[in-house]
Amino acid sequence: MKVDKLELKKTMLTMYETIIHDLKEELKTKESLANIDEDNTLDPEDYSNQTVSNEMKKLLQKQLEKAKLDFEKVKNMDFSEKSEAVVGALVTTDMFNFILGVATTPFLFGNLQVVGVSTEAPIFNSLLGSKAGDSFQFSGNQYNINKVQ
């Protein structure tokens, strides 16, 4: 089955837009919790909650920046047809389907379960340069490559 990789790209961009939106909303909530009126606060628990909210805010900001970078990676990735496993390739194996170039959680695209693989992920090097008919081992599993597009 041939996959419409431009639709795959659109799906991934929409996924990242949703992640970015949700992180921004959560960040707004944490910012409001972190900005307590110290003149009207006497309860030490309020200060503790403010500290936790500030730490969460920092973590959310890091996640938001990463999501924005990943969005740009996907936006700039070449999703054209490939004959070997490189950035932008969709690699279909007997066990799983990988889109190479950026990490994602597993997601459903049509009837395919797909996961994004970052160029920094150890499995990326196992896949790099592979072609249909090749096989590789990773983390104790044998993968047989059915198709690269």
**3-class DSSP string for the chain:** CCCCHHHHHHHHHHHHHHHHHHHHHHHHHHHHHHCCCHHHCCCHHHHHHHHHHHHHHHHHHHHHHHHHHHHHHHHHCCCCCCCCCCCCCEEEECCCEEEEECCCCCEEECCEEEEEEECCCHHHHHHCCCCCCCEEEECCEEEEEEEEC
Q: Enumerate the domain spans of the chain.
A: 5-76, 90-148
Q: What is the pLDDT of residue 137?
A: 93
Give pLDDT, residue 85: 98
pLDDT for position 148 = 98
Task: Show pLDDT as tens, one digit a residue, over the chain (149 residues).
Answer: 789 999 999 999 999 999 999 999 999 887 776 555 555 555 555 555 566 677 889 999 999 999 999 999 999 999 999 999 999 999 999 999 999 999 999 999 999 999 999 999 999 999 999 999 999 999 999 999 999 99
The confidence score (pLDDT) of residue 1 equals 74
Res 45: pLDDT: 54
Looking at residue 103, its pLDDT comes to 95
